[in-house]
Amino acid sequence: MASGGMLRARKSLRYKLTFASLIATVAALLTSGALFMFFLYSWGLDDMVSDLQIKADVVAANSRAALAFGDTSYAAETLQAFSLEPDISEAALILLDGTVLARYQPTGGSTDPVGAFTGLRPGLTMSADHVLLLEPVELDGEVLGNLFVHQDLDSLYSRLLSYLAVMMMAVLAALTVAWQLYRRLQARIEKPFLELVATVSEVSKDRNYALRVQSRTDDELGTLIDGFNEMLRQIESRDQRLRNHQEFLERQVERRTKELSDANEQLTGEIDVRRRAEAEMRKLSSAVVQAADAVMITDTEGRIEYVNPAFERMTGYPAVEAIGQTPRLLKSGKHKDEFFSQLWRSMEAGQIFHDVIVNRRKDGTEYYEEVTIAPVRDADGEVTHFISTGRDITDRMRTQEQLRHLAHHDAVTGLPNRVLLMDRIEQSLHRARRHDLAFAVLFIDLDGFKTINDSLGHHAGDQLLRGVAQRLSAAVRNEDTVARLGGDEFAVVLDSLRSSASVTAVADKLLDEISQPMLVEGKSLKVTGSIGIAVYPNDGEAVHELLRRADSAMYLAKRSGKNNFRTYSSGGDSEISGRLELEQFLRRAVDEETFLLYYQPQIRVDTGAVVGVEALLRIKHPTLGLLDPARFLPILEETGLIMPVGSWALREACRQVRRWCDQGLPPLRMAVNLSGLQFEQADLVSRVRRSIDEAGIEPSILHLEITERVIVDTLGSAVRVLEDLAALGVGIAVDDFGVGYSSLNYLKRLPIQKLKIDKSFIRDVINDADDRAITEAIIALSHSLRLTVVAEGVETEQQLAFLENLKCDEVQGHLFSPALAPMAFMAWYADNCPLQHGHAASQDAMRKEP
């Protein structure tokens, strides 16, 4: 339809153009024709008139004579000259008086006798179909008469008609030629136009904007085509951009749709997960609600966020009261602050706390709760809450407590018994060592008690003892301990003393209390007491030692007259001065580095090979010779000298490894003892590394031995320090193992390779069933923990055979060799390990050389 319209339009336009051109042509031709005809006419008329004038002039001239002399015939004769002119229809010569001298009428007789000339003015008179001329004939200025000529225009008109005919033919021919020319020329002009139109129609039909009009013309149509092409190009490019944009949008929509559906799916999945999680949560929360154990959830600040019904039952606090509070709500005061700070430390370290806590209910009663507190972490591993589950184990604890109380307390007075006293002294000893404090052990014996007991019966005796116990307990501070050792013997531990003067004051007070009369079974009884005092550290550094010395001081007091007290140091013992002297000697030795290291070999039990040595500290006294380590080591520990000495020993041992290597010995494992003080040094790890680096030895050569006691005392930091040391590559052994401090769980968490059984067990391993059992247990434990186990202090073949039987890994002791100076060790090694390399040394050879 569009093309049909186009076609029509094209036709119409084409014909319009042609028509217009032809109209213009015709108009031009007609105008020029009309002009031409007009000029032809006017020219023809002019010609005719001038011709007529000329003829008339001639005739007039010729007719002068005729007129002058009135000669009619001659006049007629002259008029006959017009006979050659067919257009002259009438001519006449008229005299002045109006008479016609002669008349010429070629077409026959005139119908007008008067003549057309009457009243005619001289000159030309024009009319449509004729021209009249009245010309005066003059002779020498005198008018003789007039010549009248009538000329028809017929010939002019007929000539014009023939011209017109010719012209019309010419116009027709011109039109024909023009028509053909237009057709040809128009085709040329039209061609690009038609192409443009065709392209337009194609573009409008197909929306194909890649089309272009190919024709090139240098006219306005060319501009139009260029414009159209440019327009197409722009449309095309815009189209392309639109398409690109649309594709982009479609992709975007597709992507969004996918994202949405993904999100939807994910959401559905999440909803599912959440539904399950909710069910799980409901299950869990109802489990928590209905749990028999008390559950308490706090935030990281310790504020209670949730408690369950079991908690309410156990504590007596309803949830509304507990929430928002801290667990201090339940505090009984039975634990020291240290306990709680430890609790917080372990929780902050992310560890699970498990212990028994004494708490207080709302009604004020105390109860034992076995608590497990665990951190609750979010998805990022961040601790957000703590959950505490606990159960009331008061009944169980009470039973245990009773049992323990029975085990640790005196049945008569309720005071701690000897066992507990020893423990308390041990604790005081620890505290005193750590805090550099003094404490005193007072040994009290009642004077004359035996007499009362014998005379009044043991019932009264017991009553008296209970009374004394009460008074003693009342006389000392809470942190002090009053114990009954048995019979009429009591002991008091005065903890954390600041001066020895306070000890004597307390002793006086105690004597005073004891000597107060006491009402027993209606009788007023009076006893006195004798007190012996041993003060740590002056009078001893071990539990038994202090007790023994307090005991001996008590005997001194008794001997010196009862109701009296004596201190051990005041008893005149010379040990104190000897100790001071020794301390000074040691200080000098530290300054002068005159300490020595002796090396005791460690031997594999199964192969008999020397696998390492233990470096042991020695010092030579100028007069006393080698000093007993048991004597000088405690002093080094107490004075802190052990730190520089220990550092020196570490360096020296490493250097010795290097020296032996240089002297041809194979690299032997070097075990070096670390004291507790050293272990607490902040720069221990870097010191160890420096020693290794300085000597240029393999870190794995070095083994550090740390006593079980030290590890237990430093508990939290021990793990970290040991891990740092292990990271250096050095081996770690637990020394003096089995004394009874460690738990097996603890061992598992430490990066240790080796356990050394304390020599006290080995010494009696053959005769003492307990020691044997302990030794067996330690070896089994080591194997189960994949630890190497070393037995120290092996002195007999029986001991070795026993250990070998238990598959103890390594041994050391006088059976093989005492600790030796470096050179002596070289010699020993050469004798016992002639092949030097590996396993060659026979066990027999080694056993023969104790």
Residue number with CB closer to another protein (100 or 438):
100
Report the nearest approach of another protein to the CB of residue 148 (Å).
21
Among 48, 55, 60, 64, binds another protein (CB under 8 A): 64
Closest by Cα among 618, 639, 614 to 628: 618
Report the nearest approach of another protein to the CB of residue 74 (Å).
6
- 39 close to 163: Cβ distance less than 8 angstroms: no
- 55 close to 91: Cβ distance less than 8 angstroms: no
Residue number with CB closer to another protein (142 or 280):
142
Residue number with CB closer to another protein (136 or 309):
136
Report the nearest approach of another protein to the CB of residue 68 (Å).
4
Among 71, 152, 583, 776, binds another protein (CB under 8 A): 71
DSSP assignments along 532-573, one per residue:
EEEEETTT-SSHHHHHHHHHHHHHHHHHTTSS-EEESGGGT-
Report the nearest approach of another protein to the CB of residue 107 (Å).
28
Close Cβ partners of 282 (under 8 Å, ≥ 6 residues apart): none
Task: Please identify, among the stretches 57-65, 351-359, 369-377, 706-714, the one whose residues bind another protein according to the rule CB under 8 A.
Answer: 57-65
CA 316 to chain centre: 46
**CA distance linking residue 836 with residue 850, whole number of Å:** 19
**DSSP 3-state helix, strand, coil percentages of the chain (rounded to 5)?**
55, 20, 25
Residue matched to tokens 């004051």: 505
Closest by Cα among 314, 459, 465 to 395: 314
Residue number with CB closer to another protein (144 or 635):
144
Other beta carbons less than 10 A from residue 537's beta carbon: 18
DSSP assignments along 4-17, one per residue:
HHHHHHHHHHHHHH
Tokens of 662: 């240089």
Binders of another protein among residues 401 to 440 (CB under 8 A) are none
Report the nearest approach of another protein to the CB of residue 153 (Å).
33
Report the nearest approach of another protein to the CB of residue 59 (Å).
13
* 97 lies in the site for another protein, by CB under 8 A: no
Closest by Cα among 667, 687, 693 to 675: 687
Residue number with CB closer to another protein (62 or 538):
62
Report the nearest approach of another protein to the CB of residue 70 (Å).
6
Residue number with CB closer to another protein (65 or 383):
65
Greatest Cα pair distance, the chain, in angstroms, is 235
Residue number with CB closer to another protein (70 or 578):
70
Residue number with CB closer to another protein (73 or 286):
73
Residue type, 475: A
Among 44, 55, 59, 74, binds another protein (CB under 8 A): 74
Report the nearest approach of another protein to the CB of residue 57 (Å).
16
- 573 close to 629: Cβ distance less than 8 angstroms: no
Size of interface with another protein, in residues (CB under 8 A): 14
Binders of another protein among residues 587 to 606 (CB under 8 A) are none
> Strands 528-536, 438-447: parallel, antiparallel or unpaired by DSSP?
antiparallel
Strand partners, 596: 618
Report the nearest approach of another protein to the CB of residue 60 (Å).
13
Report the nearest approach of another protein to the CB of residue 37 (Å).
43
Among 15, 19, 69, 248, binds another protein (CB under 8 A): 69
Tokens of 278: 């909710």
**CA distance linking residue 268 with residue 281, whole number of Å:** 19
Alpha helices in 327-437 (DSSP H): 337-348, 394-408, 418-435
Task: Please identify, among the stretches 64-72, 155-163, 531-539, 733-741, the one whose residues bind another protein according to the rule CB under 8 A.
Answer: 64-72
Among 70, 227, 350, 850, binds another protein (CB under 8 A): 70
Q: E strands, 438-514, where?
A: 438-447, 481-486, 489-497
Tokens of 458: 């043991």
Tokens of 487: 């019979």
* 66 lies in the site for another protein, by CB under 8 A: yes
Report the nearest approach of another protein to the CB of residue 146 (Å).
17
Among 68, 267, 273, 519, binds another protein (CB under 8 A): 68
Residue number with CB closer to another protein (144 or 794):
144
**CA distance linking residue 41 with residue 502, whole number of Å:** 171
**CA distance linking residue 364 with residue 369, whole number of Å:** 15
Binders of another protein among residues 446 to 485 (CB under 8 A) are none
* 39 lies in the site for another protein, by CB under 8 A: no
Residue number with CB closer to another protein (75 or 520):
75
Binders of another protein among residues 137 to 156 (CB under 8 A) are 139-142, 144
Per-residue binding string, another protein, 102-141, x by CB under 8 A, is -------------------------------------xxx
Using CB under 8 A, list all residues that contact another protein: 62, 64-66, 68-71, 74, 139-142, 144
